[in-house]
Amino acid sequence: MVQFNLLPDVKIEYIRANRLKQSLITISCLVAAGSVVVAILLYLGVAVAQKKHLDDLSKDLKITATKLSSTPEIDKIITVQNQLNSLPALHADKPASSRLFGYLTQVTPANITITSANVDFALNTISLSGNAKDLLGVNTYVDTLKFTTFKSDVAKVSDEKAFTKVLLTGFTSGEKGATYKIEFTYNPEIFTNQSIVSLSVPKTITTRSNVSKPNALFEADTSTTEGSR
């Protein structure tokens, strides 16, 4: 069977263009409708759902606040909690007093004993009193303290003086030996908890840390009188 296309080419192109136009219009309408639906959903999410969520949070906060305010002695509980939170900072700031015995062992000459040691961590001062074989040993002790330096793992400057204002404030001398009283100021860095400190004692002075079998560092106070210098 033979068929003949009686439509001119222009008519065919027009029909194709019209079909494409209808398709584009349909797709545009669908996209516009989808955009409207998305916009409505976003509006509902912000204006309704989010507002409801915020209202629920506000209600929960009010309920929680009411429960807390009705808790007996809530002020004391909060105060204790704040104090607990401040403990780490307080621990970091407190002096490492346990280092004192090690420092005294390092700087005290072998022929010197200590009968009393007082430390004022507020004023950064130390007061020592005790016995010595003679006044030469006492002077050696004073010089040891004056020339002892320290190093810290966090300090920018090394070999700083560990002790300053070293003063021999009292002494006695007799046949049984000598007594002394020394007062001095220490560098606060040597007692800080936030660093590791090592003392450097003059090598020309023999202290307990250099003696293989040192005698006792502390002894009972048997003196009854004291002179002054």
Question: Could you tell me the end-to-end alpha-carbon distance of the chain, in angstroms, rounded to an integer?
Answer: 143
Query: Out of 36-40, 81-85, 135-139, which region has the weakest mean confidence (pLDDT)?
Result: 81-85
| Burial readout 112-141 (b: 16 or more C-beta within 10 A, e: otherwise) | bbbbeeebeeeebebebbbbbeebebbebb
- pLDDT of the residue at 138: 93
List of residues 6+ apart from 207 with CB closer than 8 A: 105, 106, 107, 108, 109, 110, 144, 201
Provide the pairing of β-strand 160-161 with 112-120.
Answer: unpaired
Mean pLDDT throughout 143-153? 91
Per residue in 56-98, pLDDT tens? 888 888 888 787 777 776 666 666 556 656 555 555 567 788 8
Quote the longest CA-to-CA distance of the chain: 151
Q: pLDDT band for 147, please (50, 70, 90 cuts).
A: very high
Mean pLDDT throughout 176-199? 91
How far from chain centre, in Å, is Cα 48? Answer: 47
Mean pLDDT throughout 1-13? 64
Distances (CA, A) of 138 to 96, 101, 108, 185, 203: 27, 19, 10, 18, 17
Query: CA 106, CA 211: separation in Å to the nearest integer?
Result: 10
**Structure token digits, residue 152:** 């810290």
**Structure token digits, residue 74:** 């809530």
Mean pLDDT throughout 129-148? 92
| Helix, coil or strand: residue 166 | strand
Query: CA 225, CA 229: separation in Å to the nearest integer?
Result: 14
- pLDDT of the residue at 94: 75
List of residues 6+ apart from 28 with CB closer than 8 A: none
Residue 118 has pLDDT above 90, yes or no: yes
- Report pTM: 0.55
> What single-letter amino acid sits at 54?
L
Query: CA 156, CA 154: separation in Å to the nearest integer?
Result: 6
Mean pLDDT throughout 125-150? 93
Question: Of all residues in the chain, what percent carry a pLDDT higher than 70?
Answer: 73
